Amino acid sequence: MKATHYIHGARVEAGSRPLSPLTSPVDGTALGTVTAADSAVVDQAVQSARKAFQSWGAVPVKERVQVLYKFKTLVEKNIGELAKQVTAENGKTTAESAAGIARGIEIVEYAASLPQLFAGEILEVSTGVDCYTRRFPLGVVAGITPFNFPAMVPMWMFPMAIACGNSFILKPSEQVPFTPLMLAELLKEAGLPDGVFNIVQGDRETVEAVLDHPGITAAAFVGSTAVAKAVYDRGVAANKRMLTLGGAKNHLVVVPDADPVITAKNVVSSAVGCAGQRCMAASVLIAVGDCDHIIDAIEQEMRSLACGKEVGAIISAKAKERIEGYITRAAERGAKVILDGRGQQRAGHYVAPTLIDGITREDECANDEIFGPVLSILRVKTLEEAIAIENANPYGNAACIYTTSGATARYFEMKAEAGMIGVNIGVPVPRDPFGFGGWNASKFGPGDITGKDAIGFWTKTKKVTAKWTAKSANWMS
């Protein structure tokens, strides 16, 4: 099967640079091929999107969102097929795939409520003088997305972007190009005019063609930090409005009064859900004081999860090797590998849940984004030390605390330097109308990618100052 581009409502085969053939992380079966879009293909998508924008941007918002109501129903009807496709190309379990799509549906719901959120403001600023605002779409906009949520992360972007009246070009990860094509076809079935949603497949060069194209006015990006920063800089240099979300190193702080049963279940599901390949995954457990009883419970919980059943696959052989390298080096440096997930012998790419105790603050396991089902334990004496470690790390996506004390939780919530805080929740994803977005090296650009800020990102406002005197009114009558 070919992962084609999708331009003006149709699959398009174009481009001259084939990328490596894709195999499923689940079992190694062949999935198909992708040919990267070059600048000519990107331009074709921009021309289509620009043409579509001329009418779509002028459709009243109440009418535009009707497409999203239908799209939501279609995604719900097809969630089984979509989830199967996500699993085939990404490797996560089908339950995880369906959960990601369900989260995407929530964003469609929020975008469909845009008529309730889109109204401007008006104020009489002096006698007979009114100031008011209207929102306008930006035009042709783009989204560049990572491998780990083939449906959900694109759905963070395009429902709101198109509800706001823009035409959208998606550049999905070249590792998961098929699911977005299914979404494109559901949008068409829902009645979205051709050209409002387009896909260009490809890798770095395609991204650069998107960023350099003068016909694209804004772009959102989600992926690793180094790329997020480079993409942000290149887009801004090309005068685009940019918002780019990067990687993460999330700390879960556990204090001795935490409930061991609830904490263990929650920590483990954060660390090994989606095989640890999510930007909200628990990566370092900071145990404050004597938490041995909780760590024992975490170990037992991890042991109960079967690799290949409850724990899905790793995206590629290269990623598996990278994750295993972290475990090997931690063991060589004298850390205690309580559970060792290396060496899984089966078709596909798997690393079993891994628990490493006794890492130091300087250890690479305490600092790098491992992006696999590996939880490293760092032991400290005080909550202050734990917070200092969390705040010293350059990322700022999520930080969580496990405690039964409201005062401790609130103290942590106020002090931790991260955009998303969890209290007894290891994946503290804010749900609409609250926006998703980290701090520091986890995000470049203002505002969040979902929630209310998304409306601001995908639109521009016009401020009107109008003076109508009694005389003018007489003239009109």
Q: Which residues are catalytic?
A: 279
Nearer to ligand NAD, 194 or 205 (CB): 205
CB of 399 to ligand NAD, least distance (A): 14
For ligand NAD, give the closer residue by CB, 53 or 371.
371
Smallest gap from Cβ 288 to ligand NAD, in A, equals: 26
**Shortest distance in whole angstroms from residue 131 CB to ligand NAD:** 36
What does the block give as tokens for 300?
A: 């037992």
Question: 204-212 and 225-237 helices cross at what angle (nearest 10)?
Answer: 30
Are 333 and 376 in contact, with CB atoms under 8 Å apart? Answer: no
Residue closer to ligand NAD, measured from CB, 435 or 438: 438
The contact set with ligand NAD (CB under 6 A) reads 144-148, 153, 171, 173-174, 203-204, 207, 222-224, 227, 230-231, 245-248, 279, 369, 371, 397, 438, 442
Smallest separation, CB 261 to ligand NAD (Å): 29
**Which residue's CB is nearer to ligand NAD, number 89 or number 369?**
369
Q: Name the residue with the smallest CB distance to ligand NAD.
A: 223
d(CA 172, CA 202): 8
How far is it, in rounded angstroms, from Cα 470 to Cα 286?
69
Contact 65, 111 (CB under 8 A): yes
Question: Least separation, in Å, of the C-beta of 281 and ligand NAD?
Answer: 8
Contact 442, 463 (CB under 8 A): no
Cβ closest to ligand NAD, residue 156 vs residue 350: 156
Provide, rounded to whole angstroms, the least separation between the CB of residue 393 and ligand NAD. Answer: 13
